[in-house]
Amino acid sequence: MALSQIRKQRLEKLEALKRSGADAYPRNVKRTHVISEALLGFSGLSNSKEKVVLVGRIISVREHGGATFLHFKDGEGKIQAYLKKDRLGQKEYKFFLDNFDIGDIVEIQGILFETKRGEKTIEASDFRMLAKDILPLPEKWHGLQDVEERFRKRYLDLIMNEEIRSKFKLRSRIIRKIREILDHKEFIEVETPILQPIPGGAFAKPFKTHLNALKMDLYLRVAPELYLKRLLVGGFEKIYEIGRCFRNEGMDKHHNPDFTMMELYWAYKSRDGLMEFVESFFKELAKEINGSQSFKYQGKTIDLSKPFARIKFRDLLKEHCNIDIEKTNKSGLKKKLNELGIKPDPKWPEHEYFDALYKKACLPNLVQPIFMTDHPIEMNLLSRAKEDNKKYADRFQLIIGGIELVNGFSELNDPIEQKKRFESSNISPERKDKDFIDALEYGMPPTAGLGLGIDRLIVLLTDSHSLREVILFPTMRPIK
């Protein structure tokens, strides 16, 4: 039957409900138990013959003579209901069959019992419509061929796919555990502006908007970094923020235009001390979420139980590309990129060549946890230089399963040097934050900080293929 015909039939049922005096969308609900509570306390409730009221969405219906069995589910569980014509009366029983459909949200009152097959069931003595479903639910979920529709209509995905519902519950649990770990370490959670006059803290292209009240252009933040550092100047020593960031750039399995980031700053902490914290943080998180520090990701076993490996950026390129960044030039880099199928932009500075090589030839091979350290200083506008070699930044990245999860470094707190870097860099004038330099001139303590991509972390810990699997409403190309 065509969708339009089904919708027409259901609208007719909606009108029939109204004519009967029933409210198809009532305001008040009489629920006594969520389904999981009823199942957990089933023995006591069934033995006492106590009436319970359960609610949920009908997901299956089957008639059997003068009786109807249906399954319905709420946000926490699923149960069977038994509607018997002799118990309800012929009129009420027929009213249900004539006007109720799979997809409707219903309220069912009755006594719990167990069928001969051992299925926990509620025998209905009364029922009521809570929300009439006008459009039919998909009969089946057809896997990858419907993947785009799953993301566009996530509400249907959540109704039909229990695995997806569990994944987003797990996402919430992971974020809750992150907060628990940081709160235990006495970090303070803060909030900084999403609308910013200067898109600072990262090189990414921003989204631009306009504030009519003040007649000024603003940007959706690409990172909260520069505001969080102002709080360090103000005297906070251990702070973090979990929030949305926005970058107007490409989309792939590890990038979405809006995403969730955690940034953390720890005053009087070294880069190496922060790396030790990150390692223990990941070990604790994995054990809490997966029950073990060893888990599967995309067919590979990730083992966090051993000490995390460490390698310098220069050594990584030597190993995987046979390139020494101190002994090569743009011509040699271009040749290597061409061999890898990458056409470099002629406007790229040298460090962009390094980054392209690393992402193409090195990153996919970094499966087990590894700290990559000591990036060329040109790649790090806001990081301190290494004390023993000013050509390199006092920086690290944590990579697991070929995913860049954490970017951290010793924060540059010298206002003169920071101003010099802003002026000598190729970032646009509107991104050179004078107020941030002014703040640094009041003194920011030695600090180590990091950014953690929450969505990427969820991808790893839930063994998901892409960010779109773990973002409830990912950005999608419109249907023409």
pLDDT computed for residue 133 by the predictor: 96
pLDDT computed for residue 140 by the predictor: 53
Q: Are residues 218 and 262 in the same domain?
A: yes
Give Cα separations from 100 to 13, 30, 59, 81 (angstroms). Answer: 8, 19, 12, 14
In a domain, 47, yes or no: yes
Q: Are residues 190 and 261 in the same domain?
A: yes
Q: Are residues 82 and 183 in the same domain?
A: no
Instruction: Say if residue 369's pLDDT is above 90.
Output: yes
The number of folded domains in the chain is 2
Q: Which residues have a Cβ under 8 Å from the Cβ of 238 and sit 6 or more positions away?
A: 185, 186, 187, 188, 265, 266, 267
Q: What is the mean pLDDT of the chain?
A: 94
Q: How many CA atoms lie within 13 A of 316 on its CB side?
A: 27
| Mean pLDDT, rounded, for 59-75 | 94
- The CA-CA-CA angle for residues 105, 106, 110, to 5°, reads 155
pLDDT computed for residue 347 by the predictor: 87
Give Cα separations from 123 to 30, 61, 72, 113, 115 (angstroms). Answer: 17, 14, 13, 7, 10
> Which residue reads 């790090």 in tokens?
380
CATH of the domain at 388: 3.30.930.10
In a domain, 183, yes or no: yes
Lowest mean pLDDT: which of 143-152, 165-174, 214-223?
143-152
pLDDT computed for residue 146 by the predictor: 64
In a domain, 394, yes or no: yes
Q: Are residues 88 and 159 in the same domain?
A: no
Q: Are residues 79 and 188 in the same domain?
A: no
Q: What are phi and psi of 174, to 5 degrees?
A: -60, -45
Reported as a single tens digit per residue, the pLDDT across 291-326 is 999 999 999 999 999 999 999 999 999 999 999 999
Q: Are residues 84 and 216 in the same domain?
A: no
| The last residue of a domain, from among 97, 131, 165 | 131
Instruction: Say if residue 227's pLDDT is above 60.
Output: yes
Q: Are residues 103 and 169 in the same domain?
A: no
Q: Burial code of 366-401, b = ≥16 C-beta within 10 A, e = fewer?
A: bbebbbbbbbbbbbbbbbbbbeeeeebbbbbbbbbb
| The last residue of a domain, from among 80, 99, 131 | 131
pLDDT computed for residue 176 by the predictor: 98
Question: How many angstroms separate the CA atoms of 452 and 282, rounded?
Answer: 11
In a domain, 475, yes or no: no
Q: Are residues 28 and 75 in the same domain?
A: yes
Reported as a single tens digit per residue, the pLDDT across 273-290 is 999 999 999 999 999 999
CATH of the domain at 96: 2.40.50.140
Q: What are phi and psi of 466, to 5 degrees?
A: -150, 170
Instruction: Say if residue 144's pLDDT is above 50.
Output: no
| Mean pLDDT, rounded, for 208-235 | 97
In a domain, 378, yes or no: yes
Instruction: Say if residue 145's pLDDT is above 60.
Output: no
Structure tokens at 220: 């959706």
Q: Are residues 120 and 163 in the same domain?
A: no
Q: Are residues 204 and 120 in the same domain?
A: no
In a domain, 480, yes or no: no
> Which residue reads 């004038």 in tokens?
429
Q: How confident is the model at residue 5 (pLDDT cuts 50, 70, 90)?
A: very high
Reported as a single tens digit per residue, the pLDDT across 245-279 is 999 998 999 999 999 999 999 999 999 999 999 99
pLDDT computed for residue 454 by the predictor: 98
Q: Are residues 176 and 290 in the same domain?
A: yes
Give Cα separations from 398 to 387, 402, 453 (angstroms). Answer: 22, 10, 11
In a domain, 477, yes or no: no
| The last residue of a domain, from among 131, 147, 178 | 131
Q: Tell me the residue range of the domain where 105 lies.
A: 3-131
User: H helices of 298-370, where?
Assistant: 313-321, 330-339, 350-357
Percentage helix, strand, coil, to 5, in the chain? 40, 25, 35
Q: How confident is the model at residue 143 (pLDDT cuts 50, 70, 90)?
A: very low
Q: Are residues 292 and 236 in the same domain?
A: yes
Question: How many angstroms separate the CA atoms of 124 and 104, rounded?
Answer: 16
Please name the amino acid found at residue 142.
H
In a domain, 361, yes or no: no
